[in-house]
Structure formats: structure tokens, C-alpha cells
Amino acid sequence: MNKAKRTEIFSRLRQENPNPTTELNFNSPFELLVAVTLSAQSTDVGVNKATARLFPVANTPEAIYALGVKGLKQYIKTIGLYNNKAKNIIAACRILIDKHHSQVPDTREELEALPGVGRKTANVILNTAFRQPTMAVDTHIFRVANRTGIAPGKNVLEVEKKLVKFVPEEFLLDAHHWLILHGRYTCIARKPRCSACIIEDLCEYKNKVYE
């Protein structure tokens, strides 16, 4: 796919949704960190329901740490893998308090040193909270990047690196959100809604090769 086609794709996505953002509810980098940690193998809707109960009670590292693992579980037990997530969040809160003055760091190295924070989570926080041009490749973005031909790759890291390299600079800050929303609602896994797709004529998806 050439630069002109990529530029047109993202121009259309921007025109349809000029100010895209995550569907996770948050009001601070720390709330985003907690929400993204909870979102692994869970839906944003489910996470938002849990954090709607949790954040009014505790939305700082000190407050959540004070709940302890057992107390935190009571707020997130509707979320998949909540036992491990509770342990990781409490451990992360301790590190934030001890090493970062209770502030979420804005570097990949420091974020990935937090329990429960991998590359994808770090990328979401760097992009959404700190507006850095990172690309958090989840299953939706992996699918869209391959299907459309925007940035085909055999694994998420390959796709991530290609997206950062090939997405035109003017779109890079918001590309993560456009792609995930496109994959979530239009370019869905089993039966992509091609007839409702605003970039169908630019897409290089042919013969249903990628599934």
C-alpha cells in the first residue's frame, strides 16, 4: 500500500471521527492505568461498570493500595482474571508511591516495570494519557492492519513497528483509536461489514484470505 492510499484512508477516518479516544472511562493517567490493566481479556463496557464502582471510592495509588488485594477484589470481581489483576494493581500502586511520587511515569521502560503492564498497556497509556505517537496493537488493530494492507505483519510487534513507520505523521497520534474502533464496529472478525465501510474502495482485503 502506498502513502497516498494510507493518507486517504486516515483522512476519511478522521473526517468521520475528528476526536477519537478510548472507550474506557478515566479522568487521570492513574485511572487509565487501572482501567487498561483491567481490560485485558475483558470488554471496555465491563471495565467501565467496575471502575464506576471503584473510582468514586478509590482513584489514587494510596487509596487503592489501602483497599488491599482483598478489598480491591470486591470492586473488580466481575472482571475476568480479577484475582491476578488485583494483585498486580496493588503491587503497581506500591511502586508508584515508593518510586514515582504517586504519579504514573511517562516512559515505556518505567511503565513496563510495573506489575501487569506489558508493551500494549504501556503504549495505550503513552498515547492516550501522554499523547505520544505510540501504537498499541490489540486483536482489532492486528486484524485491520492485515486485512486492509495498511501494515501487514505476522505478529503484533511487526504490525506495531510498521504502523509507526507507515502511518502519515499527521494521523499518528490518533491512528490507534481510529483503527481499534474500525475493527470493533466495522471490520469485525467473522463477517466484516464491508458494505458499511467508508474505506472499502481503498482496502486491499481480497478473497477473504485473512481471518
Q: What is the pLDDT of residues 35-83, one digit of tens each?
A: 999 998 899 999 999 999 999 999 999 999 999 999 999 999 999 999 9
Torsion of CA 75, 94, 80, 184, to 10 degrees: 100
Fold of 3-20+134-202: Endonuclease Iii, domain 2 (1.10.1670)
Quick check: 49 and 25 in contact, CB under 8 A? no
Decide if pLDDT at 10 tops 90: yes
- Compute the distance between CA of residue 35 and CA of residue 54 in angstroms, rounded to an integer: 10
Could you name the CATH architecture of 29-128? Answer: Orthogonal Bundle (1.10)
Decide if pLDDT at 84 tops 70: yes
Quick check: 92 and 114 in contact, CB under 8 A? yes
Quick check: 114 and 95 in contact, CB under 8 A? yes
How much is the mean pLDDT over the chain?
Answer: 94
Domain ranges in the chain are 3-20+134-202, 29-128
E strand segments, the chain: none
Q: Catalytic residue, from 99, 138, 174, 191: name it.
A: 138
Question: To 10 degrees, what angle do helices 172-185 and 139-148 make?
Answer: 90
Residue that the C-alpha cell 464506576 belongs to:
52
pLDDT in tens, 98-152: 999 999 999 999 999 999 999 999 999 999 999 999 999 999 999 999 999 999 9
Q: Indicate if 120 belongs to the active site.
A: yes
- Compute the distance between CA of residue 103 and CA of residue 71 in angstroms, rounded to an integer: 22
Residue 84 to residues 79, 81, 102, 107, Cα–Cα distance (Å): 11, 6, 22, 24
Q: Indicate if 191 belongs to the active site.
A: no
- pTM, entire model: 0.87
Q: Catalytic residue, from 87, 99, 120, 208: name it.
A: 120
Quick check: 163 and 151 in contact, CB under 8 A? yes
- Compute the distance between CA of residue 67 and CA of residue 59 in angstroms, rounded to an integer: 11
Using alpha carbons only, give the angle 195, 180, 38 rounded to the nearest 5 degrees. 140
| Half-sphere exposure in the Cβ direction for 51 (13 Å, CA) | 25
